[in-house]
Amino acid sequence: MIKKFVLMLSAITAMCLISKAYSMPVIGEDAPAFKANTTRGIIDFPHDFKGNWVVLFSHPADFTPVCTTEFIAFQELINKFNALNTKLVGLSVDSVEHHKEWIKSIKNLSFDNKNDIEITFPVIDDNKKEVAKKYGMLQNNNNDTKTVRAVFIIDPESKIRAIIYYPQSTGRYMPEIQRLLIALQTTDAFDVATPANWMPGDDVIVPLNENLESRTSQELKEQGITKHSPYLYTKKLDKGTICDKIFK
């Protein structure tokens, strides 16, 4: 009986360890910390990126077609990410040497009228899958060791602010990642929320509070606030004001 109990306890412990290894952090938590070798040297994450926004993204494997197009797309927009005080960090469960060979091959290929693309953002060596497990990039119900296309947006205080997951077969839409970054930074800078399909320059949502609900229609009008319902208020926030505040 005791032997059976010990075996059962061991099995439960093993299951818990596996679950923890593949657990996924959630929005609002501190970004899981790690040290790793990359194509740009050793990084201490997220410590080395404190004060910057970060887009940490995984790709299934090096030398794969969809990932190659994504790397080209990320690199093409790197100046725009820099303008948003945002650093890019890539990852796959391959070695640095493998990453470098793949990056070299990308520089030598031509795609979508683009060529001579040099990847300048760091790509993490995660051959042991340690980072992938910390960030839940390996799916529990998938025996494949390849990571899914995960995107973690991390703020200057090293908090996870957004998570997007794509299947291995679908490439990411870079303008949406940029739009999400701008929306998050706009929320922080102006204490507002952004409605569905929001783009910079569109009206923003004013957070509800007792003071807002007690204002008269004339007071709201004078402050540029439109009341759509008792729980939905918006105001204009022009694109230039946003750009002046959040773009470097």
Give residue-wise pLDDT tens across range 77-125.
999 999 999 999 999 889 999 999 999 999 999 888 888 999 999 999 9
Distance (Å, rounded) from C-alpha 75 to C-alpha 196? 28
Q: What is residue 156's three-state secondary structure?
A: coil
Range of weakest confidence among 127-136, 138-147, 222-231: 138-147
Catalytic residues: 67
Residue 18 scores a pLDDT above 50:
no
- How crowded is the C-beta side of 29, counted as CA atoms within 13 Å? 11
Banded pLDDT at 6 (limits 50, 70, 90): very low
Query: Residue 211 has what pLDDT?
Result: 80
- Report the percent of the chain where pLDDT is more than 90: 74
Q: What are the E-state strand segments in 155-239?
A: 160-166, 204-205, 225-229, 232-235
Lowest mean pLDDT among 131-145, 190-204, 224-238: 131-145
The dihedral through the CA atoms of 138, 101, 47, 77 has a sign that is: negative
Residue 5 has pLDDT above 50, yes or no: no
pLDDT at 14: 42
Whether residue 123 contacts residue 91, with contact meaning beta carbons closer than 8 Å, is answered with yes
Instruction: State how far the Cα of 50 lies from the Cα of 245, in Å rounded to an integer.
Output: 19
Tokens matching residue 189: 């800078």
Instruction: Assign 3-class secondary structure to 11-67.
Output: HHHHHHHHHHHCCCCCCCCECCCEEEEECCEEEEECHHHCCCEEEEEECCCCCCHHH
Question: How is residue 229 written in tokens?
Answer: 């319902």
Mean pLDDT along residues 143-166: 89
The two three-digit tokens of residue 47, written as one number: 């410590």
